[in-house]
Amino acid sequence: MIQIGYTILSHTLYNRYGTEKKKVLQYATVCSNAGFMGNAIAEGLYGSMGLLYAALYLIPVRIVIWSAGVSIFTESPDKKTLIKKWRPTLYRGGLHRMILMISQLALPEFASSTIQVIGKCNTPMTMIIIGLILAKVDVRTICSWTAVYYTVIRLAVIPLLVFVGCRLFQVDALVTGVSVLLAGMPAGSTTAIFASKYSGDGEFATKIVVFSTILSLVSIPIWCIVCGV
């Protein structure tokens, strides 16, 4: 339901912006940084159970990132072509992980260790790419009304809606806390990567990633207090 809500918001809140900026804002709304930051925060605040719920929360997030998220930056002439594009991205987005989790199949040691080593490179490489883009940006232009508008939606409005929804449906306090905190994560670093890869506005994408991440240092503790952590 949260992912559906993201999609609705992304298609209604940014219609006044140009095509390139609109794509960035839509993707950054649908796909947050819950994967990189969310797991660590959930585990640090709620322990192993928090990490478990965060992993479950991220299953639809991963699928959306590599399907609907990618389709925001790419154009296809028809649905058949779009589905063909989605197949490999859905696989990368977590289908293979779900199969392994359900079947409990164990990968060979060499494959498992290789995946772990490569996985540890993801965050540093992402930060390097964002740093390279940011090096070309005038720091004084990072803060803009558009960045503020997006950040308020991403860090305040969305987690508020999730919090109210969880309370209305009397969701367990632990599940509520994890859901609200992960919903309140800043723009995902893949926003800048995809914008650059698919000839989007990579500079603007980097600005909102950096700006929303900086302000999340204030918003996340506030949501922790609201959730009673």
- Per-residue model confidence as pLDDT tens digits over 6-28: 889 988 999 998 888 899 999 99
Parent domain of 203: 2-226
Model pLDDT for residues 136-168, shown as the tens digit of each residue = 667 777 888 999 999 999 999 999 999 999 999
222-228 LR contacts (CB < 8 Å, sep 24+): 223/159, 223/163, 223/180, 223/181, 223/184, 224/45, 224/181, 226/163, 226/180, 227/163, 227/173, 227/176, 227/177, 227/180, 227/181, 228/173, 228/177
Average pLDDT over residues 73-88: 57
Band of residue 93 on the pLDDT scale cut at 50, 70, 90: very low
Name the domain count of the chain: 1
Higher pLDDT residue, 125 or 42? 42
Question: Model confidence at 220, in pLDDT bands (50, 70, 90)?
Answer: very high
Asked if 159 and 184 touch (Cβ cutoff 8 Å), the reply is yes
Interatomic CA distance for residues 192 and 177, integer angstroms? 28
Burial of 95 (0-12, 13-18, 19+ CB in 10 A): middle
pLDDT reading at 101 higher than 90:
no
> Where are the extended beta strands (E) located within 88-175?
none
96 pLDDT more than 80:
no
Task: Note the pLDDT of residue 177.
Answer: 93
For the chain, what percent of residues have pLDDT higher than 90?
A: 26
Radius of gyration of the chain (CA): 18
CA dist 151 and 145 (Å) reads: 10
Structure letter (DSSP) for residue 189: T
Is pLDDT above 60 for 79? no
Report CA 215 to chain centroid distance, whole Å.
Answer: 16
Q: What is the pLDDT of residues 174-196, one digit of tens each?
A: 999 999 999 999 998 888 888 88
